[in-house]
Amino acid sequence: MAQDQYRAEPASDYILRSLDDVTLVYHRRSGQTHIVVSPVPEILAALTGDISSTAEIVARLSHDYDLGDPHDALAAVQTHLDEMVALGLAHVA
């Protein structure tokens, strides 16, 4: 799992709206609306660009955020990525 490479859903395929307490994502292809909280919007932002591995995403995030214990961080980001892939917000490259 941690060896997977990921890419984002193209930015034109979803709409993000920040509300005061959560972020909304409208996914055009599925017509689904998701209410998301940290760290999902941050992971989405860290994904844009090329294909990345989970470790690369974690490294990118840790430039701007405190991720705590690095081992836990890798597992946590992996879990969130898996959920995002299941919903079509990210893809296994």
Residues forming the site for another protein (CB under 8 A): 15, 17, 19-22, 24, 26, 28, 31-40, 42, 59, 61-70, 72-73, 75-77, 79-80, 83-84, 87
**Contacts of residue 65, Cβ cutoff 8 Å, sequence gap at least 6:** 39, 42
Considering beta carbons, is residue 3 or 20 the nearer one to another protein? 20
Between 70-87 and 40-47, two packed helices, what is the crossing angle to 10 degrees?
A: 80
Considering beta carbons, is residue 7 or 41 the nearer one to another protein? 41
CB of 50 to another protein, least distance (A): 18
10 touches 33 (CB < 8 A): no
